[in-house]
């Protein structure tokens, strides 16, 4: 099983090579260090390394997930939350460690059991993020900023920044988080959310649906192009930006509701408070990230000349 986990790391490095080449550039090997420096570090750190990849969950049916075993709780001092409202919510409900520091296996289990994300999608997203933001020595990653809970970091030039680290998995033109150049890139931004509300009222019938999602994505792109001189929409950000646009409709709508239209107050609960609604049920059937909705959002506007 450890070999399988190592295969995943290798396969993702090859499969996403073009996507992650720029993002991985700062995470060079330790070849620049002397043998004594490498040995001294290795001897002082308990290296956990890659762990087995969890299997797909067997039950992907409609299920109550805001249950007695997973109540929402407010943050404790030191808890990490970051740019992903889905992971933030899973941590605040105890599907992930409430500290916000987890292993890739814990993240894969949480997104499958809590939201019914397909195993293949969870695999690629989790390990792609871990490759650039996690600690490969301790097998831990913060879903927010850098944290001592991820354990001793490798020496420079390696960086263990967590998901809030800009320019790796987190990027510009987020729906409800500012660009790093313009300010706080991981906390909920009320101004941006109100822009989302206005668009949803104008084209989505007062809800966040496919039509609203397409316009929100393009509006945020245009705003960043205009105001952010360091704006970067290259991969992997290009891919993750469209994922974050469709995921609220896939995972934040109660599974008993088949409308594909997300109530804006429910959306606020996830994005601002990391909180599921009372009696929230996950979707019925795993979601693999594709589908006609993704195509409609992607093809609604031209993003490059």
Q: Where are the domains of the chain?
A: 2-55+66-299
- Tell which residue, 219, 170, 169, has the closest CA to residue 193: 219
* pLDDT for residue 43: 59
* pLDDT for residue 7: 36
* pLDDT for residue 33: 57
In whole angstroms, what is the distance from residue 137 CA to residue 201 CA? 47
In whole angstroms, what is the distance from residue 33 CA to residue 29 CA? 9
* pLDDT for residue 156: 76
* pLDDT for residue 268: 99
* pLDDT for residue 18: 36
* pLDDT for residue 157: 75
In whole angstroms, what is the distance from residue 223 CA to residue 231 CA? 10
Structure tokens at 153: 């970091």
**Mean pLDDT, 10 residues at a time, the chain of 305 residues:** 36 36 34 60 67 96 99 97 97 99 98 98 95 92 95 81 86 94 91 98 98 98 97 87 95 97 99 99 94 89 79
Topology (CATH level 3) of domain 2-55+66-299: Chloroperoxidase (1.10.489)
């Amino acid at each position: 099983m450890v070999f399988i986990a190592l295969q995943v790391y290798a396969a993702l490095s090859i499969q996403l090579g073009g996507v992650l080449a720029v993002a991985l550039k700062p995470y060079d090997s330790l070849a620049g260090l002397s043998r004594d420096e490498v040995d001294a570090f290795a001897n002082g750190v308990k290296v956990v390394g890659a762990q087995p990849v969890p299997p797909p969950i067997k039950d992907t049916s409609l299920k109550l997930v805001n249950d007695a075993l997973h109540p929402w709780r407010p943050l404790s001092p030191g808890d990490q939350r970051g740019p992903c409202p889905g992971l933030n919510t899973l941590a605040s409900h105890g599907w992930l460690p409430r500290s916000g520091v987890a292993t890739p296996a814990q993240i894969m289990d949480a997104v499958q059991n809590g939201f019914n994300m397909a195993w293949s999608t969870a695999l690629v997203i989790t390990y792609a993020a871990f490759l650039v933001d996690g600690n490969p020595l301790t097998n831990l990653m913060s879903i927010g900023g850098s944290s001592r809970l991820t354990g001793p970091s490798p020496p420079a030039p390696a960086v263990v920044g967590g998901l809030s680290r800009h320019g790796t998995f987190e990027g510009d033109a987020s729906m409800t988080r500012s660009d790093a150049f313009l300010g706080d890139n991981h906390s909920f931004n009320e101004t941006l959310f109100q822009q989302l509300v206005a668009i949803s009222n104008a084209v989505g019938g007062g809800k966040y649906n496919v039509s609203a999602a397409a316009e929100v994505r393009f509006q945020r792109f245009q705003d960043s192009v205009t105001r952010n001189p360091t704006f970067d929409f290259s991969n992997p950000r290009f891919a993750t930006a469209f994922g974050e646009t469709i995921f609220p409709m896939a995972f934040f709508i109660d599974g008993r509701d088949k409308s594909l239209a997300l109530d804006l107050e429910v959306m606020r609960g996830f994005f601002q408070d990391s909180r599921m609604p009372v009696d929230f049920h996950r979707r019925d059937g795993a979601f693999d990230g594709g589908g006609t909705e993704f195509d409609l959002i992607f093809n609604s506007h031209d993003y490059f000349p």
